[in-house]
Chains A and B, each alone.
Chain A
Amino acid sequence: MNQMNILNAVYQQRDGSNTSIKTTIDGQELSVPMDPANRHYAEIMRQVEAGTLTIQDAD
């Protein structure tokens, strides 16, 4: 599997709870829901667990 190039990951909130992650993946800005079956979210969490990516808190 090719590894996605993920940059600038920031949580997005709805009613004070994190619901999605805004990030740039392979050059495209995306809003990724926190669903383990979502391929983007799965890869984000894989890179977080590998210590190569940090998700910033919402502003």
Chain B
Amino acid sequence: MSKARGLADLGNAYDDGALSNRNLIINGAMQVAQRGTSFTGLTNGGSDYTLDRWRWSEGGSPSFVTDVTQDTSAPDGFASSYKIAVTTAASSLGANHSLRLMTRLEGQDLQQTAFGTSSAKNLTLSFWVKSNKTGTYIAWFYNGDADRHISKAYTVDVADTWEYKTLTIDGDTVSGFTNDNGVSIQLEFVLAAGSDFTSGTLATTWQAQVTANRYVGNVNLADSTSNYWQITGVQLEVGDTATPFEHRSYGDELARCQRYYYRIDGGAAAFCRASTSALFNTSTSIRAVFQHPVYMRAVPTLGNTAMSTFDIEPFDQAPSNFASNTGTVRQSEINVTSPTARTVGFAAALTIDDANGYIEWDAEI
């Protein structure tokens, strides 16, 4: 990109009201991976968050199997990419089979688009993509508040080469986004799709959602175990022009991700004081309070490893149960069951006593 063109693009971005904080996508550079950097054997029609804010998803119950990794292959200026590799192939797809990578955006973060008004602004999606499989792929935008969609096709032109793609999406004057913390835009990168999704006419303008019009013309990435697809530098911004990727610090990106998910783990030291405060509320029940690092999107779900990976200190004893999860978007309290009766009012701490142990809080959309 020439300097003059870059300045012009930034000027356009300014006119659209977005010179900073332009990128609506969180973790577009695939830096943050709190759940791990490798997810293997993904199959059976599952749907799981992998790298932060990015959800791998299969539709139907296809026979193909994929691995997901945070990969170090990336275009200049990026350190990481999201890689999906096929490990068990399916040369043909069932009608309801699909393979997609998606992220979801809150409606309260999209009000500047003016969707649903005569002033609706266009959006521009840009990203870097690499695959051995050339051909047509679909990026699908779904307005979950109004059950409307639009699909944009792009092509991987050269195998095994990072390519920069930009797609401009018309503003939708018909339907806007609810101003709340629910999902309003679901963006999907489609990698395989059966005839249920491809038998119609591609929805190249905003329209009522019709399944058959979603992914028309998409290649079948799952047809060979040689196949892979990688992406990074994903940016969605208001306006007609793709501006340079808005790099954010790791700490900034991590905090944005923690609105949706965070994990406390034992780490290499295999010892972590998980709870900041706890006490015996009854002789066998400890209330352990966790202050979340940022306000979460919703009251979060608690996940955890086996009780044997935790200790109640200073008694060096594993709890027998996490009996309840009570909280708000700011803090949560776990009611920890002690296998041994103690004096009510005793102070205690819940610790993670295993390198593989963790507590996780999930407020994903």
Q: Which residues of A contact B (CB under 8 A)?
A: 2, 12-14, 19-20, 26, 28-33, 35, 37-41
Asked if A14 meets B326 with Cβ closer than 8 Å, knowing A26-B48, A37-B182, A39-B365, the reply is yes
In the complex, which residues of chain B have a beta carbon less than 8 angstroms from the beta carbon of A2? 45-47, 57-59
B327 touching A14, Cβ below 8 Å: no
Task: Name the residue on A nearest B55 (C-beta).
Answer: A2
B319 contacts chain A at the CB level, 8 A cutoff:
no
B322 contacts chain A at the CB level, 8 A cutoff:
yes
Asked if A14 meets B324 with Cβ closer than 8 Å, knowing A2-B58, A37-B181, the reply is yes
Total B residues in contact with A, Cβ cutoff 8 Å: 31
B192 to chain A, nearest CB (A): 15
Q: Which of B45, B297, B303, B327 neighbours the largest number of chain A CB atoms within 10 Å of its CB?
A: B303
Q: Which of B322, B323, B333, B334 neighbours the largest number of chain A CB atoms within 10 Å of its CB?
A: B323
A sample of 16 more A-B contacts (CB under 8 A), given A20-B326, A37-B297, A39-B365, is A2-B57, A12-B323, A14-B324, A14-B335, A19-B326, A20-B325, A29-B304, A30-B301, A31-B302, A31-B322, A31-B324, A31-B334, A33-B332, A35-B299, A37-B299, A39-B364
B363 contacts chain A at the CB level, 8 A cutoff:
yes
Give Cα A30 to B302, complex, Å. Answer: 6
Give Cα A41 to B47, complex, Å. Answer: 17
A1 to chain B, nearest CB (A): 8
- Return the 4 tightest CB-CB contacts between A and B, nearest first: A37-B298, A31-B325, A35-B299, A12-B324
